[in-house]
Structure 1
C-alpha cells in the first residue's frame, strides 16, 4: 500500500495548498512552540512596520507634490528635464559617437559625389553650348530679337552674347505689351 501511495505522489504534482500543509508539518517538526510564537510576533511586527512606512511614504509624496506646485514645477517641465538628461546620456554613449562618425563620413562622401556630378553637368552644358546645333539656335534667336527690335523701334546692338540677346528680347516684349495696352484716348475708341 505504501508503495502505491509513493507512486501516486510521484505522478501528481503537489498543489499550493498541499505544499503549505507539507511545509507546516515540516516546520512544526523542526521548531518548538515557543519559537513559533516568536516568529508570529515578529511577523505581526513587520506587517505593522510596513503599514507605517507606507503611510510615511504617502505623506512624503503629498508634501513633494505641494513643494513642486509652489515652485511652479509641473509635469511638462519634469518631462523636458528627463528628456534632456536622457538625450545627454545617449549622446555620451560609444554607440552614438560611432554612429555619428559614420554618418558624418557618409555625408562627406555624398557631398563629394554631388560635387562631381555638378562638375560633369556643367561640363556637358559647356560642350552643348559650343555644339553646332546650339550655335544655330542662338543665331536664330538673335535674328528674331533683331527683327523684334526693328519693329518696336529699339536700338540694335550687334555682336552681343546670348544672355544680352535674351534680355533685349524680354525688354522689347515688355515695351510691345505696354504699347498695345494703352488706354483709349477718343470717344470713338471708347465705343469699340
Structure 2
C-alpha cells in the first residue's frame, strides 16, 4: 500500500520501505540543505555572470561582438565538418557539369539557329515599332497645324 503526503510543500511517497522516522528526518534535512546549496549556487552564478558582463563591457566587448564571434566559430566548425566537405565537392562537380552542358548547348547548331531567328525577329519588331512611332508622330504634327492653335491645352504646338 502506498501513501502520499505533503511534507514541507513536497509530496512524499511512503512505500513503507522500513525507514524509521529518524532516518526520514535525516533525509529531509539533507534535502533541505541541498536545496539551500542549489539556491546559493544560483545566486553566486548570477553574481558571476554580472561580473563577467561588466568586465566585457570594460573591454569593449558588446553582445553583438560576442554573437558575431559565436556565429563565425560555428560557421568555421560547419565548414570543417565532413558533411560540408562532401556536399561542397558534390555541388562544385554539379556546377561544372551544368556549365559544360550549357556550353555544349550554346555551341550546337540548333541553338545557333534559334539565336539567329530570335535576333532577326527582335530586329524586325524594333524596326516596325520605330516606323509606327514615326508615322504617329507625323500624323500628330500634320494635324497640330490646324487644331493646336485653336486648343490652348493641346500638347501638339
TM-score, normalised by the number of residues in structure 1: 0.49
Find the counterpart in structure 2 of residue 105 from structure 1.
93
Q: CA RMSD in A?
A: 2.7
Distance change (3 Å), C-alpha of 1:107 and 1:19 = farther
* Structure 2, gaps ≥5 residues long: 6-11, 117-157
Residue 20 of structure 1 aligns with which residue?
A: 4
Greater helix proportion: 1
Distance in 2, matches of 1:112 and 1:19, equals 78
Question: Greater strand percent: which structure?
Answer: 2
Q: How does 1:48-127 map to 2 (within 5 A)?
A: 48-120=36-108, 124=112
Greater Rg over alpha carbons, structure: 1
Partners of 2:107 and 2:4 lie apart in 1 by 84
Measure, in 2, the Cα distance between the counterparts of 1:111 and 1:24. Answer: 75
Q: Counterpart of 1:23 in 2: which secondary structure? A: strand
Q: Counterparts of 2:74 and 2:48 in 1: how far apart (Å)?
A: 26
How many angstroms apart in 1 are the aligned matches of 2:64 and 2:15?
A: 57
Query: Where does structure 1 lack aligned partners over 5 or more consecutive residues?
Result: 1-17, 129-192
Aligned length: 108
User: Shift of the alpha carbon at 1:119?
Assistant: 2.4
Write out per-residue CA displacement over residues 86-128 of structure 1, whole angstroms, 9 at most, x where no aligned residue. 111111222211111111111111121222233236x947xx8
Residues 3, 15 of structure 2: 8 Å contact kept: no
Structure with greater contact order relative to length (CA < 8 Å, sep ≥ 6): 1
1:74 & 1:19 partners in 2: Cα distance? 55
- d(CA) in 2 for partners of 1:51 and 1:44? 11
Distance 1:59 1:47, change over 3 A: same
CA 1:49 to 1:124, structure 2 compared with 1: closer, same or farther past 3 Å? closer
